[in-house]
Amino acid sequence: MKIIRDFQTARAVLRRSPFELGEVPPQIKQGIIGIFGEELTPEEAVARIIAEVRDKRDAALFEYTKRIDGVALKSLEVSKEEIDKAYKKVNKELISALEIAAERVRSFHLTQMRHGFKGFMEGGTGQILRPLERVGIYVPGGTACYPSTVLMTAIPAKVAGVKEVILVTPPRRGGAIPPPTLVAADIAKVDLVFRVGGAQAIAALAFGTESIPKADKICGPGNIFVILAKRMVFGVVDIDGLPGPTETVILADDSADAALCAADLLAQAEHDVLATVFLITTSSKLADEVNSEVERQLAKLERAGIARESVERRGKIIVVANITQAVDLVNLYAPEHLSLMVHTPSSYMRRIRNAGAIFVGESSPETLGDYVAGPSHVIPTEGTARFRSPLGVSDFLKFTSVVALSEEDLEALGPAAATIARAEGLTAHARAVEARLKKKSREG
């Protein structure tokens, strides 16, 4: 990993640009050529997929699943029988672990419902709280399966009261969906599961097809094509944000364990070649030790190729003079994940303004947050932790304002409303109020 020992250089490195792809990895470029037979930017490829799904619907989903995933599907929907059979293909230890995780996730979000959301009526005005009708959740596939993402997206939606939760995920050879994903879907009480992934799945949820109903909102992480598709369909459908490739920052001092720091960095680097991992430390010695540990541990990883490309292309170790500089860099970068590997880590909580999730101390590794801690692991990336929150029940709720004023309220507020309306040149607005005031005067 590259080591940066100058604070101003580090600030320049961590300063975000507006959302952009940057340099597209060669394998992505070649993949696009293989699918479309010509050079296209990822944006152009996604726009083409969305247009075809909107126009050709299911036919486009079958075609792109064959071209992109290499799978000739006979049907899009996963049957209840297939889900039931998945339990026989998953060991009991994993089923138990998923049930433990589901209970933790459900309990955390039920607490959000109890303490954070309610409708009210007061003084003639108020609000009604209602859940969304139908939500689509995207669960990545491809080189790995993510039953945890099923739990982390579907359960908050169900806790919020969403009537129908639809899951889309890329199929494997023969159209199979990884059994752990299906078991997690059943545990999370997902209503429908479809074997389709990528930008075509996002387009299907946004516009609807013969098989896949149109959703009110799309949630969940994905690769760069999924991110671009979500951005392009926003407005047709709501989205939870643009949770892209994972990113993590470890803030460490001389008390940190180099082996644990390296393990945490690699745990995120193995997700994706576009994953970003940073260590910010006040200890030059720790910086060197972590760098050596990363190299040593890489040799033992099953996904070493992915993790190595991530740390070499996007990984950084930054050495600063003091914790104040370290916190400044964290707040500037606004990471998805922040791990505090320092003396008395809880004492730094108030100083961290921008982070999607904070992992406090050696006993709280990000891996626990990814799977079993309780809060959703769908967390804002690309610096959006400055203004966005992790996925939660609020993402699946909407408020309707209610205005139910009395005649006394009309008399008290009507003249002010009419005055403002006339100042804006909207005389019909003013007359709508004045007519009521005159009627009341005549009747009085």
Which residues are known catalytic residues? 336-337
Question: How many other β-carbons are positioned within 10 Å of the β-carbon of residue 30?
Answer: 11
For the chain, state the CA radius of gyration.
Answer: 25
- Scored b (16 or more CB within 10 A) or e, 419-433 reads eebeeeeeeeebeeb
DSSP result, 251-302: EE-TTS-HHHHHHHHHHHHTT-TT-EEEEEES-HHHHHHHHHHHHHHHTT-T
Structure tokens at 182: 């299906």
- Integer Cα distance of 38 and 24 in angstroms: 16
Which residues lie across from 130 on neighbouring strands?
398
Euclidean distance between the first and the last CA atom of the chain, given in angstroms as a whole number: 81
* Backbone angles phi and psi of 152, in degrees to 5: -75, -15
Cite the beta strand spans of 93-211 per DSSP E.
120-122, 125-131, 134-138, 164-169, 192-195
